[in-house]
Structure formats: structure tokens, C-alpha cells
Amino acid sequence: MKILSGLFDRMVMRRNGGNVSEQPFTGTCSASGDVTVKVLRGGKPVKGVRGTICGKAERGSFSGILNGIPAGGPYTVTLSAGKENFTVDDVLVGDVWVSGGQSNMQGSGNLSGAFANPPSTLRVYYMTNRWGTAKEPVTCPSIAKAPVHTTLCGLKKPNPSNWKNPIAKGTGPCISFLNEMQIATGVPQGLIACAHGGTTMEQWDPKRKKEGDESLYGAMLNRVLRNGGLVSGMIWYQGCSDAQTERIPLFEKRMKEFVKAVRRDFAFPDMPFVQVQIARLVNYPNGAPELWTALREIQRTLPSKLRNLLTVPTIDLELDDCIHLSGEGQQILGKRLAGAMQCLRGDDRAMLPIELGSIRSGTETKLAERQIIVRFKNVSGSLKADGRPSGFSIDRLGKEGAFRTEVKGDSVILHCPNAPIFSVGYGCGCNPYCNIHDEAGRSLPAFSMKNLPTTEFRAPYVTYPQISEPFFCEENLKNVHYKNTLAPKYTVQEQDSPYVILSDRSNYPGKTGFRFIRASYDVPETMELRLLFGYDGPVKLFCDGKEVFADPNGKNPIVTESHKLGVLWKKGVHEIVFALAMRNGNAWGVSLCIKRPGIKPTKWNLGNVSMPVEKRISR
């Protein structure tokens, strides 16, 4: 007798819902008739299995199903047909998983951070098509039997010398995942390793199934079928190679097709599937921040579009090079994968990954600040941070837009300058620093910039202010007039914050006079507006050449929107000029934005209400 599929030394057979085996097997033999099975554990027969008819042999082949072997082991299994028999040793019954995707699932972390001393009941079906006790590196494409892996490695045939122990790299999340699953379930765990670094979703296309071992999908499917075709679920890390301009638009579609295909081909319509949200990228020439942000967002939202699928984040984990998670980080990832998988399997002790809940904003008038409150779901205990909480981005204010980030319960409160804030994100770009997690050590998910709910229409803070050279004189507001603003030379000083800061103020210590700060707006139709502004010195404000506001007592600090002034602007170009006293070089600047009162945003008028548009003018 010779086994073709479903029964090998040191393998793990998948248990069913009754916690026993139902393992299909096939092979070749000369005999005909019934196939019987004898199962031993510790040299003693397993009750209810010895002599059981489990299959049929005819016309040179045999097949059958091994039913009823209890979860656990190790077992010695002997099949018999006529005078022929076949024996396999050290067989376990438990859960069987498939791993797939790119190099972070293959394992590229430093081996110094590898999982130490894994139990003998954790097994891997290595790419040599042999089962063995789990050890790093789990996935070795250069020694794979399937030609697709050696071809992608640039080899004509398997080359074990390309992947020898000891080597510096090779740690992935799989052994940590198997260990956590064994702790949670109490049964042996097996993994069919299929990942390959540097691959794309196009290369994993299920349509290439017919290519068999010449394609990634075909090779993966053949490895599963060779082991009986029964799996418990799949873990997946893919996307780094897909964060490209031409691939991003297709990524979600390809992921949906892939998940549907593996569930169909593994004959498991609701198979649990846990994917990883891609980690960071450091100093890599082809890395585009907006593409990595976009791909993470697709991964974050995919669970709402595919049943029985969850995403776990890695944005907080350390790297061992510019793109690969550290060995220690991979162990943490393995635990997160296992926690999510247990949720999908209905374990009441497990918690769903943290999800983005709600975002709201408001103004604390007494504190002269704007607060953004981001609430999260599925938080274990309370949120925490190692050091100063970091990772949030606030539209034009950038990564450092919040002057204080507070974690409180299941929420993060961003304390910001009292300025219009239009969007907020977490873990944006290629290499953000993120350190917020819950008491179970689970990270917040990275999410792309989200527009904040708004109750009013506002134009952005002035972006292209024109700053004059100093107009030296006595700092008496009565002596400064609009005609004085026409004489000095102006330069455009592009801004990326709510404040127009006089960058050269320190060049004029002990000097008195005024700096003129000018902004121009194109108004598409007649409208009532409200100017919202702040300053940190004596100031006079001119609108279209007319004095409209003066404050001889202005002082530090600049408080955005501390003053409001209504104007009626007709269609055309309008000008605002601040005359700010220099205060011996100690005046920092002003702030300015424009609000259109009386119109509340609704789902019908968003994007359809005209607003003043700032013009970039230099003269």
C-alpha cells in the first residue's frame, strides 16, 4: 500500500465539531476489498476504532475516511487491505490552518526573537511536503517541492543551501499563533505553510488554479488536498507589494475574489479568515504614504463586506528592517491572529479586534481649544500608551496637530488649537509612530483621514498670506492707515497651520513699527460672512481698504477665533489686511478663517454651498 493523500507521519488531522477526526485518505494498492484501520496510542488500541472498516480498495487504488479518532494523540495508524498494510506514526488530531501571503507571513524577523521551545504538539507541513514539529523558519520557499516557489526565488530546482539554520532571519507569526490556539483549545495545532515573500494579489489569482504547482494559488490548494482537504481556517498577510498606483484600485476586488475562492475550494463556505493590516515602511524608495494609508483602510473595512473575516493591526509593532516585523513583533502578531480567530470560532472568552467607533468634535470656550473625541469599540479594559500617546494626524495640522493627546477609557481625546478641523486619522503614511493599545496589548487599527461632523460651513485657515517688510514707526494705531499698507514689499509665506507666524520676527529686536499681513479672496456670489481671527499684539484690521477693527491692547498668546466680525461681500475679489505692532520683535503673528453663518450642512447641500476661495497673489 502507498498513501497519496490524507495520512502522513507526524501530521495533524483536522477534528470535526464532535472533537474527533473525519479524515479523507487515498492511495494505491494491489488488493481489493475493505480497508480497515487500527489505531494505537501509547501502544494500546484506541477504543471503538480497531478493526473498523474505513474504506474500499479496488482497481489498484483505495480511499476512505478515518472517523472517530479523538482529538489529541500521538497515534500510530495502520491501514490494511487484504494482506497489504500501511502504518504512519506520531499522528495528532486537532486544528489545521493555512498560512498565506507575503514575507511577513513567510517570516523575515530576526531569529533571535523567535518563539522559544515550541511544544511538540505544534506541527507544520513544510514546503518539502513533510510534516514536522514547528520550528523557525516555518516557510522556506527555496526548498519547496512546488516549482512556483523555486521559480520565484530565481532557482531552477530546490536549493536547501539557500535556507540553512542558523541564519539571521526567518521568524514569522505562525508558531506564536499555533501556541495561542493550543492554549485556547487544548488540542494539537497544525499549519500548512504556503506564503511567499514579495508576491502580489495578481500572483495569488484563483483563476490560475489550473496551473497547479506552477501557480501560488494552485500550489496552496494542492498542499491542502494532499493533506485530506480539511482545514480549520486561514491566516493571511498581504498588501505591501500591492500598495502601488496601478494595483490599489483592484486590491479590494481581488481580496474578495480570493476569500470566496478559498472557501469554495476548501469546501468550507464560512471558513474563518483573519488577515493582517500591513505594518510600516521605512526609507523605501517606492513607498508612497497615501498608497499605504489607502491600502490599510481597505483592509480595515473589509470585515464589513465579507462575513467571518477579521483584520488585526500591526501599526504599533517594531521592525527588524525597513519593512519586516521584528521577531518579538511577530510573536505579538501571532497572539492577535489567534485572538481574532477564536472570536470567529465563537469563543466567548475572546474579544473582537479594536474597531473605530465614532468621531466627534467640539469647542471648549473657557480653554480656547478644540477637542476631537475618537471612541473605539471592543476595548479590553481601558486604552493606554507607552509614553506620550502618538499616532494621530489632523488634516492641515499634521501629525503634531494636537498639543495634547489624552487616552480615557475607550476614547482618545485630541486637544487642539481652537481652529476648524476637517479630518482626523490614525497611523497614516508609511512610517507613523503609534503606541496606543488596550490593557490586553491590542493596538488601535490604523484608519485613513475621516471627515469630522460639521454644523457650519467654513473656509480653511489662510494658506497663502502675504507678509510685508517692516514699516518702522511709533506703535500708535492712530498713526497707521490703509495707505501705509501699500508702500512695503510683500512676500508670500505659505502656511500649514492655523497661525500666520512672522518667521523673521527675531531679526528686529528692539524695533518698533508694524508688519502688514494680507490675504485675498475670490467670492463667487454675494454672501454674508463672518471673519474669525486672533492676534498677539496691538492690531488694526482693514477690509477692502476700510478700517473695520482696532485693538490697542492685543497681547500674547494668539487665540484663534477670539474675535468675530461680520461682513457682506459682493461677488468679486476682496482683501483683508492686518496691521500688527512689532512689539520690539516679540509679536508672533495672527490667525484668520472665514465662516458662512446661517446655512447648516445637510446631506443635500454638502459640496454645493459656495465659499470664498483664497487667492495666491504676490506684489
Which pLDDT score is estimated for 161?
A: 65
Quick one: 501 exposed, middle or buried, by C-beta within 10 A (0-12, 13-18, 19+)?
A: middle
Contacts 24+ apart (CB under 8 A), 296-305: 296/239, 296/427, 296/446, 296/447, 296/448, 297/446, 297/447, 297/448, 298/248, 298/251, 298/252, 298/255, 299/239, 299/275, 300/356, 300/445, 300/446, 300/447, 302/252, 302/255, 302/256, 302/275, 305/252, 305/256
88-102, 404-418, 533-547: which range is least confident on average?
Answer: 404-418
Tell me the C-alpha distance between 475 and 456, whole Å. 37
H or E, element range at 2: strand 2-5
Output the CA–CA distances (angstroms, integers) from residue 433 to 281, 386, 390, 496, in the order listed: 11, 11, 6, 21
Where does the pLDDT of residue 609 fall: very low under 50, low under 70, confident under 90, or very high at 90 and above? confident
Which pLDDT score is estimated for 559?
A: 85
Which pLDDT score is estimated for 529?
A: 95
Q: Decide if pLDDT at 370 tops 50.
A: yes
Which pLDDT score is estimated for 158?
A: 83
Q: Decide if pLDDT at 398 tops 70.
A: no
Q: Decide if pLDDT at 107 tops 50.
A: yes
Residues found in the chain: 619
- Using CA of residue 340, residue 342, residue 345, residue 347, what is the dihedral sign? negative
Which pLDDT score is estimated for 286?
A: 66
Percentage of the chain modeled with pLDDT above 90: 78
Which pLDDT score is estimated for 72?
A: 97
Average model confidence (pLDDT) across the chain: 92
Which pLDDT score is estimated for 513?
A: 94
| Mean per-residue pLDDT, 217-231 | 98
Which pLDDT score is estimated for 498?
A: 81
Tens digits of residue pLDDT in 540-553: 999 999 999 999 99
Q: Considering only CA atoms, give the Rg of the chain.
A: 33
Sorted by sequence, the CB contacts under 8 Å of residue 190 that are 6+ apart come out as: 11, 12, 14, 92, 94, 95, 96, 97, 122, 123, 124, 125, 131, 178
Tens digits of residue pLDDT in 451-474: 777 667 888 889 899 999 999 999
Tens digits of residue pLDDT in 255-269: 999 999 999 999 999
Which pLDDT score is estimated for 599?
A: 79
Write the DSSP string, 589-614.
Answer: EEEEEEEETT----TTTTTTS---EE
Tell me the C-alpha distance between 248 and 257, whole Å. 15
Q: Decide if pLDDT at 397 tops 50.
A: no
Tell me the C-alpha distance between 475 and 579, whole Å. 10
Statement: 466-615 belongs to CATH 3.30.420.40: no
Q: Decide if pLDDT at 164 tops 60.
A: no
Q: Decide if pLDDT at 228 tops 90.
A: yes
Compare 215 and 460 and report the one with higher pLDDT: 215
Judge contact between 132 and 92, C-beta under 8 A. Answer: no
Q: What are phi and psi of 317, to 5 degrees?
A: -85, 150
Domain assignments of the chain as residue spans, ordered by start? 2-90, 94-344, 355-453, 466-615
Q: CATH assignment of 2-90? A: 2.60.40
| Mean per-residue pLDDT, 106-121 | 93
Compare 457 and 380 and report the one with higher pLDDT: 380
Q: Decide if pLDDT at 45 tops 70.
A: yes
Q: Decide if pLDDT at 316 tops 70.
A: yes
Q: Decide if pLDDT at 197 tops 80.
A: yes
Percentage of the chain modeled with pLDDT above 70: 94
**94-344 topology per CATH:** Rossmann fold (3.40.50)
Judge contact between 596 and 611, C-beta under 8 A. Answer: yes
Output the CA–CA distances (angstroms, integers) from residue 194 to 137, 161, 215, 327, 362, in the order listed: 13, 20, 11, 19, 49
Tens digits of residue pLDDT in 46-96: 987 867 899 999 999 999 999 999 999 999 999 999 999 999 999 999 999
Tens digits of residue pLDDT in 3-37: 999 999 999 999 999 999 999 999 999 999 999 99
Which pLDDT score is estimated for 166?
A: 46
Name the residue among 615, 596, 619, 420 with its Cα closest to residue 519. Answer: 615
Q: Decide if pLDDT at 163 tops 60.
A: no
Tens digits of residue pLDDT in 494-533: 887 788 999 888 888 888 999 999 999 999 999 999 999 9
Cell numbers representing residue 353 in the block: 479586534
Fold agreement between 2-90 and 94-344: no
Name the residue among 223, 89, 93 with its Cα closest to residue 149. Answer: 223
